[in-house]
Structures are given as C-alpha cells and as structure tokens.
Amino acid sequence: MDSAAIARLADILVNYSTEVKKGDRVLIQGTELARPLIEEVYRLVLRNGGYPTVRLDVDSLAEAFFREAPETHLDRLDPIVDFVFRHSDVLINIRSSENTRSLTSVDPARQQRWQRTMAPLQSYIMEGRTRWCVTAFPTQALAQDAGMSLEEYANFVFGATNIDWPATVSMMQKVKAVFDSGQQVRLVGTDTDLTFSIQGRPGIVSDGRRNMPSGEVFYAPLEKTVNGRVYYEYPAIHDGREVSGIRLTFRDGRVVEAEADTGREFLQEMLDTDDGARYLGEFGIGTNFGIQKFTKNILFDEKIGGTIHLALGQAYTEGGGTNKSAIHWDMVKEMRQGGEVYLDGALVQKDGRFLFL
C-alpha cells in the first residue's frame, strides 16, 4: 500500500481535521489492520505535543459481547470507557474491519438495548464536546463489500480523502448558501416524491473536520413537515445487517409505512427502537464528486456527488434539529438518473448536477 498516501492521510487527520495541538489528549481507535495509519497518526500527535492513547478494536469481541453478556451488562456503560472518552480532547476513529458482517446473526433487540445505553455518551461526542474525526483504512473486508481488489479499494479511499479540501469546501459553501435561502425541499425520483421544510435550520458544511472523506451539506428537517414517499435504490446497512429495496411513507413527519425487499423485519425493529426512530434527523446532499461508486460503506456512500441521503433518528443539534433517538441510520438515494431536487418550487438539481454552479 502506498506509504506516501498513508502519510498524507495521517497529516490531514491530525493537522487539518482535528488540529491537534500541544497538550491535547488524543484517543486513536482502530484495528490491527490499520496499524500503518495508526502509527503515522501516533507519530504526528507526539510531534505536535499531544498525548496519544491507542484503543485497538477486535470485531469478534463485539460479537462475543452481544452473545454472552448478562442482561445487566446491556444497561451499564463501562465507567472506564466512559472516562476515557469524556477525558479525551480529540478522538480519531479509523474504521478498519476484518469482517463487516460479524454482527449479522446476533439478537437485534440486544443491540438496540445497548445503543440506548450508549446514547448519552454518543450525544456528548456528537455535540462537539470532543474534536472528533472518523475515517477508514483499506481492508480486504471493505474491499470485498465494494466489489474491488484491495489495491483498487486503496486507490479509491485515498482518491476520496487526499484531495484539495479548501477548494471542495468553497464549492460546498455555495451549495449551503442556496439552500439556506430557501424553505421547502421537494425530492422527485424513482418511486419518490417527498417534501419537507428546512426553514430556519442552517445547513452544515461537512468539511473534513469530522468525516474523512467528507463532502456533504446537511440539514435537520423540521420534524413534523416530512410528507410523501421515498424509495432507496441502494441497500441500507446498520450494525452489519443489510436491508434492500426500502420504501418509506411519511405523514406529518412520521414513518407510517415501511417496506423492504429483504430485511423487512429488521427494518421494523429499528423503527421501533424509540419514538424518534420514525422521524428524519438529517437531509444530506452529497458533494464529493471524487466518489462515484456505491461501496456499502456509509462513510463514503453518503458523500457520493450527485446523490442525497436521509437519516432516520437522531438529529444534529448544531443544525437546529430536535429529534432524539438511539439510532442515526443514513440511507442513500440515487438522484443521478432522473432525480430532481426543488427548492421552493424551483429546480436546483437535476440528474445529480447542481444547476446554480
């Protein structure tokens, strides 16, 4: 794997995304498969005067937890884990799974219960108490999901991360300015006609500070304004489970009908996680045109230039959202083949192309 590309990504993570400075306590997470990137990040944190701590993840341990943990464990967050996260100034999470389907057969009810236990800590992190960034390191499992060889996938990953971020951010600011000036959004596409309001909700430019790769402008729709139907051409993946052919119908913000070609039972279970799981927490506009292929990795897929995505569940409070949920499930909608986005009745995007740029 290209060592120069790995070093470049490490530099972006430490010096651009999280801006590690002297005295920062930095928690680095990843598996042994991400060792080359972990080592580069570790070195750069030390050079910047920070204090790096590495927490290695093992896919099989998560599976063991959900299969073997007593009921009481599902309702109790380990105080040591809680302490480490709450006393870190920076979190760099390197997704590098060796098996992206390791949780496929565990009981989803136990996963939901654990997600509710983790929700306060997740909210603490998402609300900006910690400077954080999530990235990915090429592994065989991720490459297989994407339908690529490891070399092809590595080129894909670094082609999406190691780009001119100031220029990309400038373009996204223009997208934000247009949508910020509007109120009513309408999405039209294959078996889709969905409307909602973003009035008074500021757009957030995902500029690579929290996700790497990044490249989206996202909003928190007004919770009870979502009406209509949406069909997702791409499968939605959550906790290692894949649900395909999803069709959702919204009425006054709430999902009132949910169908899927495969995984319908799991979809229904996720919608029943809590009251907020049936409401939209996010409307995202993909703007990274260096990403054009769906890879079954939401970190990349939600950024595909010319697509949009909608997330069920937890909203980002920085965008004015009020919806609360233990889940935040992004689902990607293809707009590059006949899709249209309207803002206050005016067509602003067609076939994935912005008409104002």
Q: Give one DSSP letter per residue of 108-160, joined into a string.
A: HHHHHHHHHHHHHHHHHIIIIISEEEEEE---HHHHHHHT--HHHHHHHHHHH
Which of 130, 161, 192 represents a domain boundary (last residue)? Answer: 161
Counting runs of H as helices and runs of E as strands, what totals does the chain give? 10, 20
Instruction: Tally the domains of the chain.
Output: 2
100: its two tokens? 């992206």
Q: What's the mean pLDDT in 24-34? A: 96
Distance CA 305, CA 308 (A): 8
Query: pTM for the whole thing?
Result: 0.81
Write the CB contacts of 275 (distance below 8 Å, at least 6 apart in sequence). Answer: 325
Q: In the predicted model, is pLDDT for residue 130 greater than 90?
A: no
Q: In the predicted model, is pLDDT for residue 127 greater than 80?
A: no
Determine the structural domain holding residue 122 and report its residue range.
3-161
- Cα angle for residues 104, 107, 108 (degrees, 5° grid): 80
pLDDT value of position 251: 98
Residues 153 and 227 in one domain: no
Task: Give the chain's mean pLDDT.
Answer: 94
Q: In the predicted model, is pLDDT for residue 126 greater than 90?
A: no
pLDDT value of position 124: 82
Task: Indicate which CATH number applies to the domain containing 74.
Answer: 3.40.1830.10
Which of 98, 133, 161 represents a domain boundary (last residue)? Answer: 161
Distance CA 269, CA 123 (A): 22
Neighbours of 28 (CB within 10 A): 24
pLDDT value of position 120: 87
Which of 161, 179, 203 represents a domain boundary (last residue)? Answer: 161
